[in-house]
Structure 1
């Protein structure tokens, strides 16, 4: 009979240090889906817009690890973090550092909704944007409570979005038609 082994973050970081595109979620190691052209472009576009709009107000990290708990270390597509940069010297970002988390999803859409979103809600991440490439929608999740997001908004490409932490900023999340 095979024995299932669950990792803690320290073990995961040692064992998978040189393995590309893996995440630790609830003690299990997942190989992330390959990034296709649509995913790449959507993530790069949002990265550029967020960095430009939030310059001097927040830090934007691309595909960086997030220390959620002792058994979970995902790598979201984008993290909008509290400054200053020196805050992260010698450590990875934690939930209390995150102002906004962005996942871009095509083939990973159901996995992101069913596995990652509950983890983010449990950790108290205040806002998650799920760029739904399948339906060309932005799913905005807010108000984490008891492992779920209580507020969910769906935005079409023509509707701009404002980050919860920066309501004065309005961003076009998708290219103009």
Structure 2
């Protein structure tokens, strides 16, 4: 199978019988301005749409939350590198909106290396997430299967329109199960995160994150 390399006229390209070579052709094609890219078990998904203001606001809000959690836990190494391309060559590729590493052996880019995380040599993130503005069904299905198969301990799907957070922890057998509290960011309850998201309807994302910080400090 050969995929057409003219997908720039369409915001979304999805195939269920693609090859790794098809993925690489899209990834490296100079005329394809992709925003999100995923490959797993023949499923190739390319999003060439531009990021909307609500998606960007929620994404930045979540990154601020990561920073505030790090402020409250200064002895725990934490690094956010959302939207970075992650590959396990021949089988997996993804660029999650949220990518979080915790603890030791956080990947470091070396000059001359490809500008992506290669899971043959670097460990998988501790938490990934998707900001679901127009992609909720895919994020709760194909993307969820992809991240579980990589053994990523925690996965979030943030529903922008519904102001909901679907949080999953990796259980025995390699399947995700719903969790009420983050396992990676100890002390962060998912319903508290949702309350902060609801405030985005009336407040800035920095104000909502500040409110969440105050709640975490009062419960520490």
Please state which band the TM-score falls in when normalised by the shorter chain: 0.7 to 0.9
Report the TM-score, using the length of structure 2 for normalisation: 0.62
The answer for the alignment partner of 2:213 in structure 1 is: none
The answer for the alignment partner of 1:72 in structure 2 is: 92
The answer for the alignment partner of 1:7 in structure 2 is: 20
The answer for the alignment partner of 1:53 in structure 2 is: 69
Q: CA deviation at 1:3?
A: 5.2
8 Å contact from structure 1 (residues 64, 79) kept in 2: yes
C-alpha distance 96-16 of structure 1, shift in aligned 2 (>3 A): farther
My pick for the range that moved more, 65-74 or 111-120, is: 65-74
Cα-Cα RMSD? 3.1
Q: CA deviation at 1:96?
A: 3.0
Q: CA deviation at 1:64?
A: 1.3
Secondary structure of 1:101 counterpart: strand
The answer for the alignment partner of 1:158 in structure 2 is: none
8 Å contact from structure 1 (residues 121, 145) kept in 2: no
1:166 matched to 2:185: yes
Distance 1:113 1:32 in 2: 20
* 1:96-145, Cα deviation, whole Å (9 max, x unpaired): 33111111102100011111000000110100011012322111111255
Report the TM-score, using the length of structure 1 for normalisation: 0.75
C-alpha distance 110-86 of structure 1, shift in aligned 2 (>3 A): closer
Structure 2 unmatched ranges of 5 or more: 4-17, 200-220
Q: Which has the larger radius of gyration?
A: 2
Runs of 4+ in structure 1 off by over 6 angstroms are none
8 Å contact from structure 2 (residues 35, 47) kept in 1: yes
